[in-house]
Amino acid sequence: MRVEDFDFDLPLELIAQTPLLDRTSSRLLIADYPKNTYKHESFSSILEELQAGDCLVLNDTKVMPARLMGVKEETGAHIEVLLLTQIEGDHWETLVKPSKRVKIGTEITFGEGLLKAVCTEIKDHGGRIFRFVYSGVFFEVLDQLGEMPLPPYIHEKLQDKNRYQTVYAKEQGSAAAPTAGLHFTDALLDDIRAKGIKIAFVTLHVGLGTFRPVSVDSIDDHEMHAEFYRISQETADTINEVKAAGGKIVAVGTTSTRTLESVATKFDGKLQEDSGWTSIFIYPGYDFLCIDGMITNFHLPKSTLVMLVSALTSRDFILSAYNEAIEQRYRFFSFGDAMFIKGRNY
């Protein structure tokens, strides 16, 4: 299967540049694969689509203010550093612009010396490993100096940085938001619980894979970058019980999906407490072991995310849904509208 098979024409004006004032006022395309239907609603109607006894799974990762603007000590050149993954202690994997100016041993200063970094390694994909030097608590320094790492297709300045954060964000460590979760409010989550729908949390820290385009022709040749995940025994028990009782498991976002499927694959279809690094790559032909449906935003053409959602139904069904969304002028990408996909076994 070729990467070109997941291409589509997207008008640039449909790329959402700013979040809506009300999170739940975004639109929701309900793509029901068993019925072969598409329906247009507002996001708040997700309450009617979920049933008592189902389980909604959310990724509680918290986005770091991971974009740092610094200067190269030797020359004074301006350098942008994007934190991706904490390797160990004060060592972080990063993306750097312009990367050609950063060699092993290069020192960069941020915030007039509040934070310093020394390049210790150059990765095959062009990223850099830095060792950071500071006084106090790293994440407090980062909160003072860093900016929210908005995707490159967003050109408007974010007025409220919390709008690139889910209302349930808890575990700090992501370089990007799990954007399907941006549509939920505390009130909507309370209504979901009140209906008898279980809510469970997993953690997956979004890393380099989000920023990495597919640069090969054949899907089989693409390698996913590993990302850290964690699932508690409480979450595992909840999901196992819901599945055993015949309820549906609905993952919010591709990150929750990848976490659940990684653990289910590891333990023969069951879930249990676990943590580690996953580079699972889900595309058509994959047999889902855990989830039945997914709430997701609309993704970039030819991306691994389009491939993942296609695996839950079929490539033709998803591309038809995308064409439907384009015709109906849905908003795309991180601050855009959402789709509720009911998979083959829903």
Q: Grade residue 225 by pLDDT with cuts at 50, 70 and 90.
A: confident
**What pLDDT does 210 receive?**
59
Residue 338 and residue 212 share a domain: yes
Residue 205 and residue 108 share a domain: no
Phi/psi for 315 (5° steps) reads: -60, -45
| Domain span including residue 206 | 3-63+160-342
Mean pLDDT (the chain) is 94
**What pLDDT does 214 receive?**
78
* Mean pLDDT within 303-308: 95
* Mean pLDDT within 28-42: 98
Q: Which residues of 275-291 are buried (b: 16+ CB within 10 A; e: fewer)?
A: eeebebbbbbebebbbb
Residue 228 and residue 176 share a domain: yes
Residue 164 and residue 35 share a domain: yes
Q: Per the structure block, which two tokens stand in for 17? A: 């540049």
**What pLDDT does 54 receive?**
98
Tens of pLDDT, residue by residue over 176-213, are: 999 999 999 999 999 999 999 999 999 999 986 655 66
Domain boundary among 147, 171, 186: 147
Location of structure tokens 């015709």 = 327
Residue 197 and residue 50 share a domain: yes
**What pLDDT does 208 receive?**
63
SS (H, E, C) 70-94: EEECCCCCEEEEEEEEEEECCEEEE
**Lowest-confidence region among 20-29, 151-160, 299-308:** 151-160
Cβ pair 205, 277 in contact under 8 A: no
Tens of pLDDT, residue by residue over 138-182, are: 999 999 999 998 888 899 988 888 999 999 999 999 989 999 999
| Structural domain contains residue 52 | yes
| Structural domain contains residue 152 | no
* Mean pLDDT within 307-323: 98
Residue 33 and residue 113 share a domain: no
Domain boundary among 125, 147, 169: 147
Q: In this prediction, what percent of the chain has a pLDDT beyond 90?
A: 85
**What pLDDT does 157 receive?**
86
11: pLDDT strictly greater than 70: yes
Tens of pLDDT, residue by residue over 258-280, are: 999 999 999 999 999 999 999 99
Q: Grade residue 247 by pLDDT with cuts at 50, 70 and 90.
A: very high
* Mean pLDDT within 283-302: 97
| Structural domain contains residue 179 | yes
* Mean pLDDT within 91-119: 95
Q: Per the structure block, which two tokens stand in for 98? A: 């312009």
Please name the amino acid found at residue 2: R
* Mean pLDDT within 237-248: 98
Residue 128 and residue 170 share a domain: no
Domain boundary among 147, 172, 203: 147
126: pLDDT strictly greater than 90: no
Give the number of residues written for the chain. Answer: 346
